[in-house]
């Protein structure tokens, strides 16, 4: 079925050779994280009975409570809450923010302006919405990134000292930007800087796209709270919905009170038969993240050889699963997404087109032939149609199933370039 140009096949073989060392490095991290996850399952005595459904209030759901304990151990946190009724990553982050912040508090984002969909939650940007943190009297400030797109540690120290914020907020992944994603070590330095100037400040990390990419999570270097979506890395392509919050026990409890209601917190919430998928998802997550990383590394190598600027560059150590490619023109961007779609296992016959999307201030094109709608641990790509016409590509449940789709995207872009 797949018919690739001979030049592209040769280029693909060369790209694979380029990736050899990076693949070995990814495998080492994957093995470490998979063993850590297995140990968490064994230590917490996961059993078949924990997959049973609860209904109504969900009181006494042992599976739900054990899932929390397994995930907390796997990410090196005191506590965690993992729930199918977190509707998306933005919702999960919102619960954490409203769980911790109070009227008069200051939230200081130290990684520049955060991702598009969290801006209405804070109450900033063109899409500010009713019910935001700002509406509830929470103050917001940010520290710009330096000229290299990295956290400005000197400016962070000065801002924390001057403002004594209730929360320092870190966005680990790049979002729709070309700045580098943050390593766990960089996050650790921000934690140290923050605590030196304001020991009581809560450091929260938007950990989306970063889980299990390294051999430790931000909680291992002092982050007080991390949060993310189960249809990204930690759901392993099996969880159909949900999110997690993990970190300090007292803060997780505050978030549980926001998720449900004060006084009930985590004690209520029927699982409705979702436990099995959530357990399976987090168990498979380290391996699936490794496959996504291999797919990203291969994609970077292919498009670098085609003459496009990529970030990360081939061979660079990765801190999230996202691969950005500057495709130079809107036509190339559309061609990439449409080509990728033709290699998807689901909806391969669909043609993605740019369209308006809630939470974004420009048209967005998305390619996603996924078993779970919107799952970005599955092979997908998306981008706003605006300068620099870069695509943000992520996921891939299996490298050998993702590789043909990447080549479909490359061939479509090559054809677009030849038609100029």
pLDDT per residue over 316-363, tens digit each? 999 999 999 999 999 999 999 999 999 999 999 999 999 987 666 778
CATH 3.40.640.10 fits 34-282, yes or no: yes
pLDDT per residue over 9-41, tens digit each? 999 999 999 999 999 999 999 999 999 999 999
Closest to 280 in 3D by CA, of 63, 126, 119: 63
Across the range 246-250, mean pLDDT stands at: 98
Across the range 236-258, mean pLDDT stands at: 98
Question: What does the alpha-carbon distance between residue 38 and residue 40 come to, in Å, rounded to a whole number?
Answer: 5
Across the range 219-238, mean pLDDT stands at: 97
- Note the pLDDT of residue 126: 72
- Note the pLDDT of residue 83: 98
Question: What token pair was written down for 388?
Answer: 């620099």
Given a cut of 90, is residue 213 above it in pLDDT?
yes
Place of tokens 């850590």: 36
How far CA 387 is from CA of 118, 177, 277, 298, 391, in Å, comes to: 21, 11, 39, 25, 11
Closest to 378 in 3D by CA, of 411, 348, 345: 345
Contact yes or no for 335/413 (Cβ under 8 A): yes
Question: What token pair was written down for 74?
Answer: 């796997």
Q: 181 pLDDT band (50/70/90 cuts)?
A: very high
Contact yes or no for 230/239 (Cβ under 8 A): yes
> What is the distance of C-alpha 154 from the center of its chain?
27
Contact yes or no for 114/359 (Cβ under 8 A): no
Question: Which range (117-131, 185-199, 218-232) has the least confidence?
Answer: 117-131
* Domain ranges across the chain: 6-33+287-418, 34-282
CATH top-level class of 6-33+287-418: alpha beta
Question: What does the alpha-carbon distance between residue 115 and residue 121 come to, in Å, rounded to a whole number?
Answer: 11
Given a cut of 90, is residue 1 above it in pLDDT?
no
Across the range 80-106, mean pLDDT stands at: 97
Question: What token pair was written down for 291?
Answer: 């496959």
Question: Which range (88-92, 164-168, 379-383) has the least confidence?
Answer: 379-383
Q: Percent of the chain scored above 70 by pLDDT?
A: 99
């Amino acid at each position: 079925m797949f018919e690739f140009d001979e030049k592209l096949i040769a280029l693909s073989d060369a790209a694979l050779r380029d990736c050899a060392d990076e693949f070995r490095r990814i495998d080492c991290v994957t093995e470490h994280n998979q063993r850590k996850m297995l140990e968490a399952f064994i230590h917490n005595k996961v059993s078949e009975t924990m997959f049973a459904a609860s209904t109504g209030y969900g009181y006494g759901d042992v599976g739900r409570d054990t899932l929390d304990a397994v995930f907390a151990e796997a990410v090196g946190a005191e506590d965690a809450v993992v729930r199918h009724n977190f509707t998306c990553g933005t919702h999960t982050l919102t619960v954490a923010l409203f769980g911790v912040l109070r009227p008069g508090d200051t939230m200081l984002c130290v990684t520049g302006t955060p991702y598009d969909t969290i801006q209405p939650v804070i109450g900033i940007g063109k899409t500010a919405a009713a019910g935001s943190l700002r509406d509830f009297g929470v103050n917001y400030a940010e520290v710009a990134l330096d000229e290299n797109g990295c956290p400005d540690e000197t400016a962070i120290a000065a801002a924390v000292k001057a403002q004594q914020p209730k929360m320092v907020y870190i966005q680990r992944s790049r979002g729709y930007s070309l700045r580098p994603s943050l390593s766990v070590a960089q996050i650790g330095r921000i934690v140290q800087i923050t605590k030196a100037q304001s020991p009581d400040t809560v450091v929260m990390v938007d950990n989306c796209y970063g889980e299990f990419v390294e051999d430790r999570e931000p909680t291992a270097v002092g982050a007080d709270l991390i949060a993310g979506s189960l249809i990204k890395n930690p759901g392993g392509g099996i969880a159909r919905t949900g999110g997690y919050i993990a970190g300090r026990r007292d803060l997780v409890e505050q978030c549980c009170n926001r998720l449900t209601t004060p006084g009930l917190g985590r004690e209520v919430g029927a699982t409705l038969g979702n436990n099995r998928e959530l357990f399976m998802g987090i168990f498979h997550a380290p391996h699936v993240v490794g496959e996504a990383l291999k797919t990203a590394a291969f994609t970077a190598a292919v498009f670098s050889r085609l003459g496009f600027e990529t970030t990360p560059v081939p061979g660079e150590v990765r801190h999230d699963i996202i691969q950005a490619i500057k495709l130079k023109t809107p036509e190339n961007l559309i061609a990439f997404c449409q080509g990728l779609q033709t290699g998807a296992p689901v909806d391969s016959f669909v043609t993605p087109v740019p369209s308006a999307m809630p939470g974004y201030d420009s048209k967005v094109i998305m390619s996603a032939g996924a078993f779970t709608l919107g799952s970005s641990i599955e092979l997908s790509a998306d981008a706003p149609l605006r300068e620099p016409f870069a695509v943000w590509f992520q996921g891939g449940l299996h490298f050998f199933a993702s590789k043909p789709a990447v080549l479909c995207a490359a061939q479509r872009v090559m054809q677009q370039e030849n038609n100029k």
